[in-house]
């Protein structure tokens, strides 16, 4: 196993205390190779400098391991409720740090930006705006005298614009979030859970066919099931996003509420699916009736040489 994969795997037990952060990777590296003299340099090489790349790598590794937890040992038929229950119990082990995992899922991979204006007339207008002197704490008389004699050497808005341009490479970063990140996370869980409980039991080579015996791919019900189950899971796991004191409780006190919510939401989900399936059967019977009528009319027309 590569060192990067070893570090990510070994860092999962530290998430409950160190969260999805760079220190969790450092602690993991020290436990694997205690003889390394400069662990920060190794983490920079493997995950990039700073904490953004390290946090995202931890969340992705944690999520991937969570998909493996879904496929647990159960005797006989896999139950959808039991599969999702295992996944919620897995999420509860990171405690209130689950909020940081959601934050990383909502963070886009790249930050959009727009070019800063460089019009001479704008700089001329900004140069006429005088900024107030910067605050200096009254710690010493020398600092007070400096602020009095030279209150703000770059005391106009134009100089501030020049400083921002030099720091950002003449581009203005825009704050943005990815609201589909948590939904995509729940979709992957729902897709794997439905595969384990439905598709895995089907015989290989069986082709799904439509009303007229034509081969079909995933129909509307395929997407409906996954979207509905994704919302069921997100609604249930949202109970784990509440803070709690790890010192006063060794286990997650919100786990029972999350499991109760899962059970209630699954009943509603399955009831809704049953209603939709009955509606689909009625539509299929109606389509069959119209097909029979049209075929009969065609047969009558041919028998009358029309």
**Structure tokens given for 101:** 């995992």
Helix (H) or strand (E) holding 171: strand 171-173
Residue of 189, 197, 218, 181 whose CA lies nearest to 102: 181
Q: Which residue has the tokens 């190794």?
A: 42
Q: CA 193 → CA 29, 68, 93, 248, 269, distances in Å?
A: 33, 11, 20, 34, 14
Query: Do 83 and 197 contact (CB within 8 A), yes or no?
Result: yes
CA distance 229 to 193: 9
User: What pLDDT score was predicted for residue 146?
Assistant: 45
Is residue 130 in a domain?
yes
237 C-beta neighbours (distance < 10 Å), count = 24
Residue of 119, 95, 99, 146 whose CA lies nearest to 251: 95
Q: CA 99 → CA 151, 230, 243, 269, distances in Å?
A: 44, 18, 9, 26
Structural domain containing residue 129: 113-134+150-173
**Number of structural domains found in the chain:** 1
User: What pLDDT score was predicted for residue 158?
Assistant: 55
Is residue 157 in a domain?
yes
Is residue 259 in a domain?
no
Query: Do 123 and 196 contact (CB within 8 A), yes or no?
Result: no
User: What pLDDT score was predicted for residue 12?
Assistant: 92
Judging by beta carbons within 10 Å of its beta carbon (0-12, 13-18, 19+), is residue 261 exposed, middle or buried? middle
pTM for this prediction? 0.69
Is residue 160 in a domain?
yes
CA distance 253 to 242: 10
**Structure tokens given for 90:** 């897995």
Is residue 124 in a domain?
yes
**Structure tokens given for 7:** 């570090």
CA distance 139 to 144: 8
Alpha carbon of residue 253 to chain centroid: 23
Is residue 191 in a domain?
no
User: What pLDDT score was predicted for residue 89?
Assistant: 94
Helices (H), the chain: 3-11, 15-18, 22-32, 39-47, 52-70, 80-92, 98-106, 120-127, 141-149, 157-168, 180-197, 220-237, 255-303
Per-residue pLDDT of the chain (306 residues; tens, 9 = 90+): 688 999 999 999 999 889 999 999 999 999 999 888 899 999 999 998 888 888 999 999 999 999 999 887 655 567 899 999 999 999 999 988 999 999 888 887 666 666 766 556 555 655 666 656 655 555 544 444 444 444 444 455 556 556 666 666 666 666 666 778 899 999 999 999 998 888 665 555 555 665 566 555 566 778 888 999 999 999 999 999 988 876 556 788 899 999 999 999 999 998 888 777 666 555 455 555 455 445 555 555 555 455
CA distance 247 to 91: 19
168 C-beta neighbours (distance < 10 Å), count = 13
Is residue 159 in a domain?
yes
Q: Which residue has the tokens 């015989």?
A: 203
């Amino acid at each position: 196993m590569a060192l990067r994969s070893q570090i990510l795997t070994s860092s999962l037990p530290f998430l409950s205390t160190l969260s999805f952060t760079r220190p969790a990777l450092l602690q993991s590296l020290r436990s694997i190779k205690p003889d390394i003299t400069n662990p920060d340099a190794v983490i920079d090489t493997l995950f990039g400098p700073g904490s953004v790349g390290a946090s995202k790598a931890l969340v992705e590794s944690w999520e991937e391991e969570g998909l493996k937890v879904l496929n647990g040992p159960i005797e006989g038929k896999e139950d959808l409720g039991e599969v999702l229950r295992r996944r919620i119990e897995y999420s509860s082990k990171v405690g209130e740090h689950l909020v940081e995992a959601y934050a990383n899922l909502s963070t886009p991979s790249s930050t959009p930006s727009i070019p800063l204006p460089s019009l001479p007339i704008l700089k001329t207008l900004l140069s006429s705006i005088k900024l107030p002197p910067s605050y200096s704490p009254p710690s010493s008389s020398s600092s007070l005298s400096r602020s009095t004699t030279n209150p703000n050497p770059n005391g106009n808005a134009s100089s501030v614009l020049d400083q921002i341009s030099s720091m950002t490479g003449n581009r203005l970063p825009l704050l943005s979030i990815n609201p589909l990140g948590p939904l995509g996370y729940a979709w992957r869980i729902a897709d794997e859970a439905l595969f384990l409980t439905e598709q895995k039991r089907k015989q290989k080579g069986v082709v799904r066919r439509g009303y007229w015996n034509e081969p079909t791919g995933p129909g509307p019900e395929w997407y409906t099931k996954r979207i509905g189950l994704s919302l069921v899971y997100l609604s249930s796991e949202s109970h784990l996003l509440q803070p709690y004191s790890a010192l006063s409780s060794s286990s997650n006190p919100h786990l029972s509420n999350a499991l109760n919510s899962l059970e209630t939401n699954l009943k509603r989900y399955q009831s809704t699916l049953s209603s939709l399936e009955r509606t689909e059967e009625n539509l299929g019977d109606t389509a069959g009736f119209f097909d029979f009528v049209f075929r009969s009319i065609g047969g009558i027309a041919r028998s009358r040489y029309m």
